[in-house]
Amino acid sequence: MSTPFLSVRDLRVHFSTEDGMVKAVDGLSFDVEHGKTLGIVGESGSGKSVTNLSILGLHHPDHTEIEGEILLDGQDLLAASERELERLRGNKMAMIFQDALASLSPYHTIGKQIGETYRKHTGASKREARARSVEMLTKVGIPQPNLRVDDYPHQFSGGMRQRAMIAMALVCNPALLVADEPTTALDVTVQAQIMDLLKDLQQETGTSIIFITHDLGVIADIADDVLVMYGGRCVERGTKKEVLRAPQHPYTWGLLGSMPSLEGPVDVPLSPIPGSPPSLLNPPTGCRFHPRCSFTERVGGNRCSTEQPPLELTAGRGAACHLTPEQRVEFFADFAGARTH
Ligand SMILES: Nc1ncnc2c1ncn2[C@@H]1O[C@H](COP(=O)(O)OP(=O)(O)OP(=O)(O)O)[C@@H](O)[C@H]1O
Ligand SMILES: [Mg+2]
């Protein structure tokens, strides 16, 4: 097996706050392969953004304790200096966010902003940078790019701004792109266009992508591998097919139950997961999902509330749950059957 392009090991990100220590990420490990897309899915507050901001080195050092290892192409990012991270950001790794308006400066033209990133990392002249901006705008499907390059962000529609942000992120051909819910704010048609664009660009450049979302439908469209996060930990991971077709963790079943079925009848009622996400100041003992899980009695005793289930992976596939493999298959079959009848 080849070495993964990005390897995260036992990542812990804790914030010290007035109320105490927020354990936003607590022992998370995963890999991203060359040229592949890892989808990270989980409810609000599960630690998706915090994880990825750690990769890019964007946490405020004063209030944040980060432990573990993040290896990008063999280089330990947690040991890298701020200067080195500056060099890597935009060049080797880049991030796109949900809100393009907040990431683009209102005072500079789109072309200038794309061009500045390019100049910073390549030392290109202004003329070369402008040509590169036009090239990138063409690539992301902006009409009349040689005119629109001189527009300000507010002159672009939401979908176009998102495209411009992708152009800016990809201008130096980063080997890793982190996309944090980049399509959540867009309508469904534009969302589909942006996802197609990312897939095309990935085909062309071989960029590895981490795609963060609440939405398993988006995962179904774009991911190769999937990581399901709950309360700062990974509860399940595997290939897209494994996680969507034969999920093993009751939390993943809950996520599936709260979205329209991919194949089944469209009129099946959606059932959101009862309860609310865990406090990260005082996370539940044992399995963090146990207060919301309907299978703790099937596990028996008080194991779920006292013993943290380990995430044991076989060829990258597994779930952190005390149910036996046979029980997982049986209970998921019941769940899926109940949904389609
Ligand atoms: N700087 C910080 N200081 C204290 N707590 C923080 C800080 N940043 C994030 N958190 C907390 O860490 C937890 C995880 O946040 P994170 O932003 O990673 O969630 P998320 O999975 O990205 O959620 P969403 O889907 O809403 O974007 C949350 O409880 C959040 O309040
Ligand atoms: Mg987030």
pLDDT at 228: 97
For residue 308, the CA-to-ligand 2 centroid distance in Å is 25
Binning pLDDT at 50, 70 and 90, where does residue 100 land?
Answer: confident
**Predicted local distance difference test score (pLDDT) of residue 270:** 63
Q: Distance (Å, rounded) from C-alpha 164 to C-alpha 166?
A: 5
Distance between alpha carbon 262 and the CA centroid of its chain, in Å?
21
Q: Is 209 helix (H, G, I), strand (E, B) or coil?
A: strand
pLDDT for 98 equals 83
Q: Does position 263 have pLDDT exceeding 70, yes or no?
A: no
Please state the rounded mean pLDDT for residues 282-297.
96
Interval 11-40 mean pLDDT: 96
By the CB criterion, residues less than 5 angstroms from ion ligand 2 are 49
CA distance 178 to 211: 6
Side-chain half-sphere exposure of 330, counting CA atoms within 13 A = 7
Residue 285: pLDDT band with limits 50, 70, 90: very high
Rounded-to-integer distance, Cα 64 and Cα 54, Å: 10
pLDDT at position 1 over 70: no
Give the confidence band of 232 by pLDDT, cuts at 50, 70, 90. Answer: very high
Range with the lowest mean pLDDT among 153-157, 184-188, 206-210?
184-188
The two three-digit tokens of residue 191, written as one number: 């969302």
Cα–Cα distance between 166 and 52 in angstroms, integer? 17
At 322 the three-state DSSP class reads coil
Q: Do residues 207 and 242 lie in contact, with contact meaning Cβ atoms separated by under 8 Å?
A: no
3-state secondary structure of 7: strand
> Which of 7-11, 196-200, 265-269: highest mean pLDDT?
7-11
Ligand minimally distant from the alpha carbon of residue 43: 1
- Atom 19, ligand 1: which residue's CA is nearest? 45
pLDDT digits (tens, 9 = 90+) for 290-317: 999 999 999 989 999 999 999 989 999 9
44 C-alpha to ligand 1 centroid (Å): 8
- Spatial separation of the C-alpha atoms in residues 90 and 57, rounded to whole Å: 12
Q: What is the pLDDT of residue 289?
A: 97
Q: Which ligand lies nearest the alpha carbon of 41?
A: 1
Confidence at 267, pLDDT banded by 50, 70, 90:
low
* Crossing angle between the packed helical segments 158-170 and 126-139, to the nearest 10 degrees: 120
pTM above 0.85, yes or no: yes
CA of 50 from ligand 1 middle (Å) equals 6
Cα angle 128, 130, 131 (rounded to 5 degrees) comes to 65
Q: How far is the CA of 119 from the centre of ligand 1 (A)?
A: 33
Strands (E) located in the chain: 6-17, 20-32, 37-41, 64-72, 75-76, 93-96, 176-180, 208-213, 225-230, 233-239, 318-319
Summarize pLDDT for 168-205 with one digit per residue, the tens: 999 999 999 999 998 887 888 888 888 999 999 999 99
How much is the mean pLDDT over the chain? 92
- Residue of minimum CA distance from atom 11 in ligand 1: 24
For the residues 107-131, what does the mean pLDDT come to? 96
Question: Best mutation site among 41, 46, 96 for ligand 1, i.e. most ligand atoms within 8 A of its Cβ?
Answer: 46
Ligand located closest to 213 CA = 1
> DSSP readout, 33-91?
-TT-EEEEE--TTSSHHHHHHHHTT-S-GGGEEEEEEEEETTEEGGGS-HHHHHHHBTT
Among all bound ligands, the one having the nearest atom to the CA of 18 is 1
Q: Which of 19, 43, 48, 255 to mutate to test the pocket of ligand 1 (most atoms within 8 A of CB)?
A: 48
Tally the residues of the chain.
Answer: 341
∠57-62-64 over CA atoms, to 5°?
60
Pocket around ligand 1 at a 6 A CB cut-off: 15, 17, 22, 24, 42, 44-50, 214, 280
- Percent of the chain at pLDDT > 70 equals 95
